């Protein structure tokens, strides 16, 4: 009599004990909220948004957030930098730091917050992890108060493990210390943790360089398409866990 095939190994049996998520672009729909907030803010200024303006805003966001991440400016400075790049395109004057701070916190920021939303694949993915006995956490570049407010706004408060933010840690992804900090908070070795994020350079390559396993959540299909652990949505996470995750390493 032929013996039945062995049951598929559970993630814990393969050494995986936790999944840590990025927040913006992974659990929280920052790209949609940013554009919706921009359009509402521009309308409140008596101007009309355009594809050119929106592209300029996204470029400025990427440029200045990278500058903050690399320690070239502080968090308020990256917000001011975005406005300095975009205000001339709206035909508006660029004021001093105090004026820029007031314009951001009193104009764009509340419009952005009103557009906050999550993705529709998150709840099911968290259910899969709970049933698999895997722990969860969040490691995100940003300020703690805002990132925790996002988590609450999209209904995930209490559904995730610890939330670690770059501002509170004092260093940002892809710094290995950020990834090691979340592993230490969980009491796990890096090789026991899978990191899931949408930024291939910062999240995936950064996590692997720190010794974690990693999966690229490529919601937009931007690639790289040859990434060996690529998820098109969090609905793919369950199948990925069943197949097994690749070992840690660069």
177-233 residue pLDDT tens: 999 999 999 999 999 999 999 999 999 999 999 999 999 999 999 999 999 999 999
Condensed to tens digits (0 to 9), the pLDDT of residues 80-126 reads 999 999 999 999 999 999 999 999 999 999 999 999 999 999 999 99
pLDDT at position 243? 65
**pLDDT tier for residue 7 given thresholds of 50, 70 and 90:** very low
Condensed to tens digits (0 to 9), the pLDDT of residues 131-180 reads 999 999 999 999 999 999 999 999 999 999 999 999 999 999 999 999 99
Taken as a whole, the chain contains a residue count of 250
Q: Please say if the pLDDT value at position 244 is more than 70.
A: no
pLDDT at position 250? 39
pLDDT at position 242? 75
Q: According to the 3-state scheme, what is the secondary structure of the chain? A: CCCCCCCCCCHHHHCCCEEEECCECCCECHHHHHHHHHHHHHHHCCCCCCHHHHHHHHHHHHHHHHHHHCCCCCHHHHHHHHHHHHHHHHCCCCCCHHHHHHHHHHHHHHHHHHCCCECCCHHHHHHHHHHHCCEEEEEECCCHHHHHHHHHHCCCCCCCCCEEEHHHHCCCCCCHHHHHHHHHHHCCCHHHEEEEECCHHHHHHHHHHCCCEEEEECCCCCCCCCCCCEECCHHHHHHHHHHCCCCCCC
CA distance 103 to 109: 9
Q: Please say if the pLDDT value at position 12 is more than 60.
A: no
Condensed to tens digits (0 to 9), the pLDDT of residues 27-48 reads 999 999 999 999 999 999 999 9
pLDDT at position 185? 98
pLDDT at position 10? 52
Q: Are strands 213-217 and 230-231 parallel, antiparallel or unpaired?
A: parallel
Q: Please say if the pLDDT value at position 13 is more than 50.
A: no
């Amino acid at each position: 009599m032929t013996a039945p095939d062995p049951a598929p190994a559970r993630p814990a049996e393969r050494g995986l004990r936790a999944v840590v998520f990025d927040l913006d672009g992974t659990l929280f729909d920052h790209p949609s909220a940013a554009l919706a907030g921009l359009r509402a803010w521009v309308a409140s200024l008596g101007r009309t948004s355009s594809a050119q303006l929106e592209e300029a805003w996204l470029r400025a966001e990427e440029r200045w957030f990278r500058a903050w991440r690399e320690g070239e400016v502080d968090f308020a400075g990256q917000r001011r930098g975005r406005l300095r790049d975009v205000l001339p395109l709206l035909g508006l004057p660029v004021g001093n730091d105090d004026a820029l701070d007031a314009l951001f916190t009193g104009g764009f920021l509340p419009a952005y917050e009103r557009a906050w939303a999550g993705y529709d694949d998150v709840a099911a993915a968290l259910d899969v992890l709970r049933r698999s006995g895997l722990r969860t956490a969040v490691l995100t570049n940003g300020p703690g108060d805002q990132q925790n407010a996002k988590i609450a706004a999209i209904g995930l408060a209490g559904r995730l493990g610890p939330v670690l933010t770059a501002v509170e840690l004092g260093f940002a992804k892809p710094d290995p210390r950020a990834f090691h900090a979340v592993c230490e908070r969980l009491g796990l070795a890096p090789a026991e943790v899978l990191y899931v994020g949408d930024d291939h350079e910062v999240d995936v390559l950064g996590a692997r360089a720190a010794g974690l396993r990693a999966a690229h959540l490529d919601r937009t299909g931007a690639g790289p398409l040859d990434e060996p652990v690529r998820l098109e949505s969090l609905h793919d996470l369950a199948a990925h866990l069943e197949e097994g995750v690749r070992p840690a390493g660069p």
